[in-house]
Structure 1
Amino acid sequence: MEDGEKWYVIYTRTGDELKVKRLIELLFSKLNKKPIRVLIPKRAIIERKGKKRVEKIKFLFPGYVFIKTNMCFEIYYEISKLPHFLKFLKDEMEPAEVRDDEIRIILSLVGDSDIVGFSTGIKIGGKVKIIDGPLKGFEGLIEKIDKRKGRVKVRLNVSGNANLVDLGIHIVEKIDNGEFNKLSEVS
């Protein structure tokens, strides 16, 4: 990471995130600035459509666009003039930097694809232990597990704002012969 480069959050209307991302990338190429990293974290979840289960990709933080840049007045001013821009998340008067520990968690959850995939948990007695996927090692963030929907509620903080988000999980249960049975596929 270059000196001075920090993560910031732009708030826009839900549904305008990808437009804002394209506009920021165009702006930086027009200003002949170093390419900017723009991140819109997404999540894979299962939804029911009638009796079928369908995998959907949804925004992890609707209305949030993360940017990594060396913030200065020129960049702040130019981004603020963009269409679909509502505001920066601020810390008093200035754009709030996303804390390193907060962005580190988000980046490790999304990996290289910008999508938080499914984790796999094993049911041991009354508890679920994460054995694979992006939530492995982040069990402390889990607030609630909904086995029927195949989702976990996770508390993620961004610039001091606590967000409770649903992430996808496949829960498996050990059967007598040592194999696993998927519970999240059972209604």
Structure 2
Amino acid sequence: MNWYVLFVRTGREERVKQLFNKWFDSEDYKPFIPLQERLFKVAGTVKKELAPLFPSYVFIESNLPDLQFVTSTNSMIYTSSDIIRLLRYSKLEASMRNCERQVLESLCNDRYCIESSIGIIEGDKICIIDGPLKGRSSIVKKIDRHKRQAVIQLEFMGDIRLVNVALEIISKV
């Protein structure tokens, strides 16, 4: 399967996803919005909420090759005021590269959501003991214990992106 990425107006991700489902056959086009769990404390209790991992982007999973996908979606992309453009590496390469897709797939659950991870700090090193970041402390660039977040580095459509994901630090030794 190929993943294609649409750059859309902020806050219109769900609307574009619905539009794709309405216009196209669900067998060839499966739009989704990668999500992340966010942790926050309210009245002494830790709560979770879901938020887009990449705000302003909608992903489409499709078995169509690049040229066929671009040709079949072109008219919808240009007529929708919510879609800004289809991201591409070059004129001929529009689907997300396998190495980038595989990293995202390994971090996400089956609903395309990166769940929270749990870690401990030992001296100046972080050790992630549970969750999708387990064994991947090398991609963690920064930790904000107060906000219960880690900033991780991902390659996304040829660019390096810093993305916030949920990380609960349970102890510091």
TM-score w.r.t. the length of structure 1 is: 0.79
- Contact 1:13–1:86, Cα closer than 8 Å, also in 2: yes
Q: Which residue of 2 aligns with 1:184?
A: none
Kindly indicate whether residue 39 of structure 2 is the aligned counterpart of residue 42 of structure 1.
Answer: no
Q: How does 1:17-36 map to 2 (within 5 A)?
A: 17-29=13-25, 34-36=27-29
Name stretches of at least 5 consecutive residues in structure 1 with no aligned partner.
176-187
Kindly indicate whether the alpha-carbon contact (under 8 Å) linking 1:153 and 1:167 is maintained by their aligned counterparts in 2. Answer: yes
Letter paired with 1:104: Q
Rounded to whole Å, the distance in 2 between the matches of 1:139 and 1:25 is 37
Cα deviation, 1:95-117, whole Å, max 9, x if unaligned, reads 63211111111112121122211
Residues 8 and 95, structure 1, Cα contact 8 Å, conserved in 2: no
Displacement of 1:49? 6.3
1:118 CA displacement: 0.6
Paired with 1:105 and 1:19, the residues of 2 have a C-alpha distance of 26
Inter-partner Cα distance in structure 2 for 1:161 and 1:50 = 39
Alignment partners' CA distance in 2, 1:77 and 1:95? 15
Question: What residue in structure 2 maps to residue 67 of structure 1?
Answer: 60
SS at 1:102 equivalent: helix
Instruction: Give the C-alpha shift of residue 51 in structure 1.
Output: 7.7
The Cα shift of 1:48 comes to 5.6
Tell me how far apart the structure 2 counterparts of residues 149 and 128 of structure 1 sit (CA, whole Å): 16
| 2:69 maps to 1:76 | no
Displaced runs of 4 or more, over 6 A: 49-52
Partners of 1:12 and 1:44 in 2: how far apart? 21
Deviations 1:21-50 (A, max 9, x none): 111111113xxx734222211111124669
CA distance in 2, matches of 1:75, 1:68: 14
Task: Name 1:185's counterpart in structure 2.
Answer: none
Kindly report the root-mean-square deviation, in angstroms, between the aligned alpha carbons of the 2 structures: 2.4
Structure 2, unaligned stretches of length 5 or more? none
Q: What amino acid does structure 2 have at the position aligned with 1:38?
A: P
Mapped contact 2:37–2:166 kept (Cα < 8 A): yes
Q: Post-superposition shift, 1:52?
A: 7.0
Of 109-118 and 49-58, deviating more is: 49-58
Instruction: State the SS of the aligned residue for 2:60.
Output: strand
**For residue 168 of structure 1, what is the aligned residue in structure 2?**
166
Who is 1:97 aligned against?
A: 95
Q: Contact conserved, 2:29 with 2:60, CA < 8 A, in 1?
A: yes
